Chain A
């Protein structure tokens, strides 16, 4: 990008010349915040209960989900506007219920739109025909219903459901509309027995989302010019809609099913006690269990991704609390870098990396505490993490040339895929049902990280190339793969300058042409057009 273009671009999206300074000041502020916040985690973590938020219920027992505008105490004692999927089951009222299913279950339910704008539910990660997949192609207007009927065909995993109306997704998800869809199978149950895990007690879903509040404590979604381009960054990190949460845990193995439900923010997750990072085991990804646990100390998670982990608190010493935290990392807002050289802008030219990092009280990539875990004394626990977890489907790799997708921006503030922006009436890519293809996702150097999400099919990562050092250093395989690349994925985080090769098998049981979406799951990117439809030709 020329300097002229870059300046035009920055003038439109990054604010005026002091932005770099803002970044410096914000970073200092964040460092101060991290050091004194540890004692300020005073709200009990919300967990799935019998009713209310995230209550666990068999998916096949839910006949209706009403997308509703409510008042809800996100912060204790302060009613705030909050949008949720409301279900009535067995006389109980559930908000964003945690839906439980087994592979083979038939789901039949109606979504009622009680919002003041159109909406649709997308069943994120599940294999569905396009009508049941749920995208902006199929919308329910205000007051209307949309009926879903599908069979759960996928492996046991932590899927989720959220809005997908083009142009409205970011606000609707931000205001609260999202829930987990947990599929179980025999491997899952074997693991639960081996480790004596109990959902909501020692098997804990953690939905991480960043949010901002007005000075009156009400949820607030107001995008700055920067954030329209880079995605929303909130001032507080909520876990299960709990701000500054704590969780009392026994000294034993806990399972955390972690969803990054943030609109745009990525995290580098670690468990820390004092200055010491604890080992933990990655056992699953978007599409279910890995074949064997991968011991890690830190792992990136992009928006919409899931990490399923085991933490053995017997490794914690004394009674000092353990924190789930995000380690500091370079958020790589490299939009104004030189595409050919990969170098930052010349001196005297505004560096929008700093500008973007300055866009919230918690800069992207800042070190931050997420959840305080108080380690309580408990009866002796003898559970041992099994060495084998599950068997992944055989890797089916196509032999042809890869299909290339370039992620970038057009210099005028629009994120694109191969230069395309979303058009509801176009499907620039067609694949043949049953075909095996390799897709090469190449992120420009002059870019930012993009969590690339493909509807309709889980995929496998074959290779990462030209990864930034902070990613490459976490690779555990020769082909640059990270531990979280070893499982099935529906979303992969692609860093600036990086190329990721993935294997897709377009086999499915649905007759007729199907149209699915491929998009960036930074929801502000998605809503502003970083999405394409692709056709699976029958």
Chain B
């Protein structure tokens, strides 16, 4: 049901789209999975929130064409959570995002 509703939301172009995507991905994974196999993309973004306990970071980032992703705000797992140690909210970061056909994870961020 939620996927259907989210589709409606995106199709409508409602301005709430970014956070809706954020919640959707954080809790249920991506809607449209690319082909199987590891894919990566380099991106630039602005950190919104850091949860060091969970090892996740929420980033407002630009488009990631290599992963067929538009600009959005999204929460991602950071594979090596030690990389979160020196990050601050509203810091501009460069990062690398990997997709293995199932999950997205940040492999590098600084």
Contact = CB atoms under 8 A, between A and B. Distances in A.
B16 to A, nearest CB: 3
B20 A25 contact: yes
Given A215-B60, A216-B44, A361 B18 contact: yes
Contacts of A77: 91-92
Nearest to A224: B15
A236 interface: yes
B16 A23 contact: yes
A149 interface: no
Contacts of B61: 215
Contacts of B60: 213, 215
Contacts of A226: 15
Contact of B14 (A22, A28, A40): A22
B33 interface: no
Nearest to A362: B19
A26 B49 contact: no
Interface in B1-39: 5, 8-9, 11-20, 22-23
A25 B16 contact: yes
Interface in B39-71: 44-46, 49-51, 59-62, 71
A131 to B, nearest CB: 41
Nearest to A22: B16
A57 interface: no
Interface in A425-461: none
Contacts of B17: 22
Given A22-B20, A25-B23, A215-B61, A358 B15 contact: yes
A502 interface: no
A226 B13 CA distance: 12
Interface string A130-146: 00000000000000000
A492 interface: no
A216 B89 contact: no
Given A358-B15, A358-B16, A361-B19, A21 B8 contact: yes
Contact of A16 (B14, B23, B49, B51): B14
Nearest to A37: B49
Contacts of B91: 75-77
Nearest to A354: B16
Contacts of B13: 15-16
B38 to A, nearest CB: 24
A42 B89 contact: yes
Contacts of B20: 22, 25-26
A347 interface: no
Interface of B is mostly: mixed
A36 interface: yes
A448 to B, nearest CB: 17
Contacts of A213: 46, 60, 90
A78 interface: yes
B49 A215 contact: no
Given A18-B8, A215-B44, A29 B14 contact: no
A355 B90 contact: no
B44 A18 contact: no
B11 A18 contact: yes
B49 A22 contact: no
Nearest to A355: B14
Contacts of B8: 17-18, 21
A520 B39 CA distance: 51
Nearest to B92: A217
A26 B13 CA distance: 14
A44 to B, nearest CB: 13
A473 to B, nearest CB: 30
B15 A25 contact: no
Contact of B90 (A21, A243, A360): A243
Given A26-B16, A29-B23, 19 more contacts: A15-B15, A16-B12, A17-B12, A18-B8, A18-B9, A19-B14, A21-B8, A22-B9, A22-B15, A25-B20, A29-B19, A75-B90, A76-B90, A77-B91, A215-B59, A215-B62, A217-B90, A243-B89, A358-B14
11 contacts: A15-B12, A15-B13, A16-B12, A19-B16, A21-B14, A22-B14, A25-B9, A42-B88, A213-B90, A244-B89, A361-B18
Question: A-B pairs with the 3 shortest C-beta distances?
Answer: A22-B16, A16-B12, A358-B16
